[in-house]
Structure formats: structure tokens, C-alpha cells
Amino acid sequence: MKYYQGFLQSIHGMRTGGCVWLLLTLCYSPALSQEPRSPYHGINILSARSSLSASDVDTSVGASLTAETAERLPSQGPATSRSGGIEAETPSAETAIAPADTIEKESPDEEDLSLGEMTIAGLTLNELNIYGYFSTRFEKTFSEPGVENGRIVKSDAPSEFIHPFFNILLQHQITNKFKAFVNINGSGGSSIDLRNFWGEYSPSALFNLRFGKIYRKFGLYNEILDAVPTYYGIEPPELFDSDHLMISRTTTLMLSGSLSMPVGSFNYSLSTDNGEGGAAKDVLPIGYDLNYKFGGGDYTLGLSGYTSGGESTSDISLGDGSPRSGVLPWMAADEFSVFGGYAEGKIGNLTVQSEYWKSPHTIQRDPASVVTMINGAGPNANQLSRFLINPFAGASEVNVRIADKYDVKTWYVRAGYSFETKAGEIAPYVQWDYYSNPETIAKKRFGGDNEAGVADDGVFTKSTVGVVVRPIPQVAAKLDQSFHLYKLNGEDVNYWEIRLDVSLLFGQVF
């Protein structure tokens, strides 16, 4: 039976060619001893030789972890790392079957490697990984609409080089259950910002306690917003665009965990902190995230939320720029929440993502701040009619509409496809973003944003096409073009902008 099944196998698939070849050879070759190998035999032989040779060459590939140094590697001992991380010259199939003397000539002497030079990131305890990246960006906006004497006029903005990111990251696996992480950011190439510093204790996969300044788990992007080289797109989704954040990115105390299921896993997080404007009496903000990953992590469905837990204030004073939270600076009190869902699917080299978020606000405007804002920022007619009881009566504290409600909404769809070529990875992508915030204004200095705040109704959409080119895994060059559409002065207007972002990863990256 076994022979019969095997024979059936042999007449299907790859063996068929071999059988036919063998039949022809045996029947018609002048000498039986001159049996040629089938091409399919060749594959088997090649793989056998490759694996054999790979074992052979492990003592001669100097840049890799070697048998001898692995023996010296303590399971619980200290370790340092080699510049360039764990990336190392490893034998390809061709290299592996090359004569050993050739390989030895190309590789440094194994004895030259000490433990201090070994690349053992991710393996040993007491490891301190240092890595990071920097990026330089070019932006230019074309035909941006404005209103002059009641008419729409368009003008190009000057082109601009900026340095949005310089991140140095330190990760220390103190023990198998304790870890520390620090993320130092050099924004604009001029100021240093401590984006993250936290410690984590993991008594089990289900309970991990993180404390410090932490990017909260919220949607698909918040935790990875400083990982620009790795995702599609240059700009973050509007939810976490620094011009109009719906909530603060960071929290102080976060409990998270993962529960493995027969198919996939559930992941959760709960977080709390002082709140958007700092500590307030009887206010306990709560952030949460729940997602289900399946298909080996290729598919994610999740929901995230946040409640201010009472009346909160802005984290920034009026006139000091856009808030780093969801509360605008002219509010005396703002009780709000954010809720939404997200989904991601990775099908082969195609990635598709989508998120939807809604943030209802119940607000008490501060009359003095509103008057200052109106006089300094010059809101449009729609915005004035929201802020003032009688928009034609001029800005005065008694004319300010104090109690109000409004919703901020945003959603997006992103898709990208990765092509691997001899020149590296080329990954085209498209994005569609929608954002609506009726309360915001245009002037960033007064806490507004110059996208939704410019629009009559606080609504804009943005469509983007772009491409990521990665000649080597450590370099990502992104070029994209966005079209913004919104209403201005009662008319549908649009403008477009191009961006080029080049980032370089360094240190112990994979």
C-alpha cells in the first residue's frame, strides 16, 4: 500500500518529470551507468548540501553568532552588542555550497570575536539595546486657497525642509519579567523631548504593568507613531495628528495583557493618568483598548476608548499653540470621551487598515479666553456663531455662549502593497482621511489647526497617493502627494501638497 501511495505521488507533481526522464534514460541510453540526475533530484541534493554546508560554515562566518561564542554565551549573563544589531553576513544558498576555503577568505577569523562584540540582542538578559532613527522631510503646498476681499485667491507656500524626528531609543531587559524603555526625541533638530520612559513588570502574559510616560495602546497607530520608517504614509492618521489630537498620546499607568485562544488571541489594556489638563478633584480618566488578533497576527479587529472621567481642562494656555490633548485652550471645563474601532488585514504583501473615531464633548467655554481668542485669531462666520450668542454684536464676555456640545469625528482607510525587487522594496500606498471638528479655529497659535479650522464647517478630506522605497531595510524614502478638499467661503476648494521623507535607522535593528 505504501509503495502504491508513493507511486501515485510519483506520477503527480514534481516527481512526474523525474519518472519520465528516468524512463527515457533507462530505455534509450546506451549505458545504464550514465544515468543523469533529474532536475527535481537536483533540488533535493542542493538543499541537502546547503543545510550541510551551512553547518560547516558556521565557524567561518565571522559576523554571525558562532558555535564557539554561543557556548560562551551565558543563559542569564550580561551581554553587549555589536554595532549594526543582529544583522550579520549569513550564508546564502550559493555561499553555503561554496568551497570552505573561499568562505574563510571572505570572513574574519572567528578567534577575533569576543563576547563583547557579539550580536545577541533579544537573547540574553541584562541586555541594553540602543538604536534609533532620524529623518529629514521636504514639504511644499501648492495653490492653497485663502479669502481676500470676499473672494477666493490661491497661492503657493514656500517649500520647506524640516527635521521631524531624531529618536534615540534605549531598551533594557533587566530580567525576563522586568523591562525599561526610554525614547528621546529631537524635534525639529533643535529641541530635545523625552517622549517615553517607562518600566514594565510582567508576572504573566495576562498581566503586564507599565508605569512612567507611556504611549497608550489606542487604535493601530498611537504606540507606533515614532516608528515612521516602518509604516505606510508620512503623516499619521488625523486622530493623532499633532495639530488636532483627540486625546493625549501618553498615559501614566497601564495594565495590559494577552489571552491566547484556540484561534488567535485577545489583547487588552487599561490606563489612567492625571487627565488632559493635570490633576483635578474627583476626576479619574480611563483609557482602554481591546483587540482580537488572528491568522497568525495578520488580522486585527479592535476597539479603543477614553473617558475624561469628569470635567477636565486643556494642557496648554491660550496663545501657546495647539494642545497636546483633546481639550481646546478656551475651555473652562470639558467632559469628553473618545470611542472607535479599527481593523487591519495583511494579505500576503497587501496591507489594508481602517479606523473610525468619535469624540463627544460637553463643554463650558471660558468667556475671557473666548474673547481673547476671537480678537486674536479672527474665526470665520460659522465659528463665531458657535462662540457668540449674537455673532453680529462683537466679542464680549457676556456675549459668549458658555455651555455647548460638539462631536469630533474622523476615519481613514489606508492600503499599501509591498513589491520586493532587486533594488530593494518598493511599496505604493493610498490613503483616504476624513476629519470633522466644528469647534476648532484656523490659528494654531491660539490652539487651532490650519486644516479643519480653515474650513467653513470644520470638515476636510484628504486623499493621498505615495510610495515607499527601501533600498536596504535601514533606509526608507517616502514620497507622497495629498489633495485636501474642504469648504471655504461657501465654495468647495482644494489644494495639494507633496512631501518627501527620508529616514535612516541605526543601531540594533532587525
Partner 1 sequence: MIKTNDTFWIRFFLFVLIALLWAGAEPALAQISIVTAKSAKLDSNAVSKSALKEIYTGAKLKWADGNKIHVVDQADTETGKKFYSAVIGKSVNEVRKQWTRLLLSGQASAPLKCPSDKIVKKVIAANPNAIGYIDTSALDDTVKEILRINGDAK
Please list every residue from 86 through 125 that binds partner 1, using CB under 8 A.
86-88, 90-93, 96, 119-124
Instruction: Identify which of 476, 462, 469, 477 has the alpha carbon closest to the alpha carbon of residue 430.
Output: 462
At residue 301, what is the residue type?
Answer: L
Residues 241-270 that bind partner 1 (CB under 8 A): 258, 260, 263-265
Which of 202, 354, 382, 385 binds partner 1 (CB under 8 A)? It is: 202
463-494 core/surface letters (b: 16 or more CB in 10 A; e: else): ebebebbbeeebebbbbbebebebbbeeeebb
Alpha-carbon distance of 458 to 452, in angstroms, equals 4
CB 26, min distance to partner 1, A: 4
Count of all residues that appear for the chain in the document: 510
Q: Could you tell me which stretch among 151-159, 293-301, 396-404, 407-415 binds partner 1 (CB under 8 A)?
A: 293-301
* 309 within 8 A of 231, measured Cβ to Cβ: no
Q: Does the CA dihedral 115-118-121-123 come out positive or negative?
A: negative
Q: Is residue 296 within the footprint of partner 1 (CB under 8 A)? A: yes
User: How many angstroms separate the CA atoms of 438 and 243, rounded?
Assistant: 14
Q: How far is the CB of 240 from partner 1 (least distance, A)?
A: 13
d(CA 412, CA 415): 10
Rounded CA separation 443/317 (Å): 14
Q: Is 169 in the site for partner 1 (CB under 8 A)?
A: yes
Report the residue from 108, 278, 297, 376 that binds partner 1 according to the rule CB under 8 A.
297
Among residues 144, 164, 226, 435, which is the contact residue for partner 1, using CB under 8 A? 226
Minimum Å distance from CB 486 to partner 1? Answer: 32
Beta strands in 124-272 (DSSP E): 127-142, 144-148, 151-155, 160-173, 178-187, 191-204, 207-215, 250-260, 265-272
CB of 241 to partner 1, least distance (A): 18
By CB under 8 A, is residue 350 in contact with partner 1? no
Cα separation, 474 vs 229, in Å, equals 8
**Window 375-414: contact mask with partner 1 (x via CB under 8 A):** ----------------------------------------
- The DSSP secondary-structure symbol of 400 reads B
Return d(Cα 438, Cα 24) in angstroms, integer.
Answer: 80
- The span of 56-64, 185-193, 357-365, 458-466 binding partner 1 (CB under 8 A) equals 56-64
Rounded Cα distance between 290 and 255, Å, is 12
Convert residues 420-439 into a mask of x (bound to partner 1 by CB under 8 A) and - (unbound).
x----x--------------
Strand partners, 462: 433, 484
Please identify, using beta-carbon distances, which residue of 91 and 448 lies nearer to partner 1.
91
Site for partner 1 in 123-142 (CB under 8 A): 123-124, 127, 129, 131-133
Residue selected from 164, 229, 391, 466 as contacting partner 1 according to rule CB under 8 A: 229
Residue 124 C-alpha from the chain's centroid: 27
Q: Which stretch binds partner 1 (CB under 8 A): 149-157, 197-205, 310-318, 383-391?
A: 197-205
- Choose, by CB under 8 A, the member of 295, 376, 378, 394 that binds partner 1: 295
> What is the closest distance, in whole angstroms, from the C-beta atom of residue 439 to partner 1 in the complex?
31
Smallest gap from residue 488 Cβ to partner 1 (A) = 37
- Shortest Å distance, C-beta 308 to partner 1: 25
